[in-house]
Amino acid sequence: RTIAHASDSYTVCTLRADRDEIRLWHSDDEGRLYGGFSAIDAALEPEGKWLAFAMNGGMYERDFSPVGLHIEQGKTLSDLNTKTVTGRPSQIPNFYKKPNGVFFWGQGRAGILESGRFDTQKPQAAYATQSGPMLVFEGNIHPAFIEKSRDLKPRNGVGVAPDGTVYFVMTRGRVSFYQFARAFRDGLGVQNALFLDGGWAPGVYAPELRRNDRPGHGGYGPIIAVVR
């Protein structure tokens, strides 16, 4: 569905981890990058399943490997990244604008935790992806966000409401981090939300909206997909 908050518009996919099959994808058994939504849809055919929704699911390096934690089907393919980068805020890559966080799910539940808390609590997770910055952290907007910022870009992210509802959100225009965070907290009532990607990178697969975005620069790294 499409929602409006303030003067901006967003595409929202609403899910429940206790009833929807959500997976995280990166490469096949032979190490070949999926890179896009159509490749995942094709990979589901032998299972008699199909792709209902997908979104690029976190930061990745130039070689498309995950920047941080990446867990698929209970297997850790990339470790939690606890590195700290210092310097001017404008020069720090988004992933390292702490607090950053982890979106995780499995066994009928989903959650978002700040990376340090995820490391300490070590919740059981069948799937997990680390990204940053946190947009909303325990009801608070990330302290580095500027209310009247002119850094306006397409962005996508995920939020988990107190009742366990999962919201995947894609901007329908260019917004600042602050505007995006408010859409989660004030528009959707989310207490914890995580930025996934921005700039040229965000993409979404949503047949109901006739969306099948093609990735730029050769493909996506991690991809979150809802399977039917």
Of all residues in the chain, what percent carry a pLDDT higher than 70? 99
Contacts of 152 (CB under 8 A, 6+ apart): 174, 175, 176
* Torsion sign over Cα 115, 67, 93, 187: negative
104-158 pLDDT, tens digit per residue, is 999 999 999 999 999 999 999 999 999 999 999 999 999 999 999 999 999 999 9
Specify the pTM.
0.95
Question: At residue 201, does pLDDT exceed 70?
Answer: no
What tokens were used for 55?
Answer: 């979104």
Query: Quick one: pLDDT at residue 91?
Result: 87
Q: What average pLDDT does range 14-35 have in this prediction?
A: 94
| Separation of alpha carbons 180 and 178, rounded Å | 5
| Separation of alpha carbons 66 and 63, rounded Å | 9
Question: At residue 198, does pLDDT exceed 80?
Answer: yes
54-89 pLDDT, tens digit per residue, is 999 989 999 999 999 999 999 999 999 999 998 887
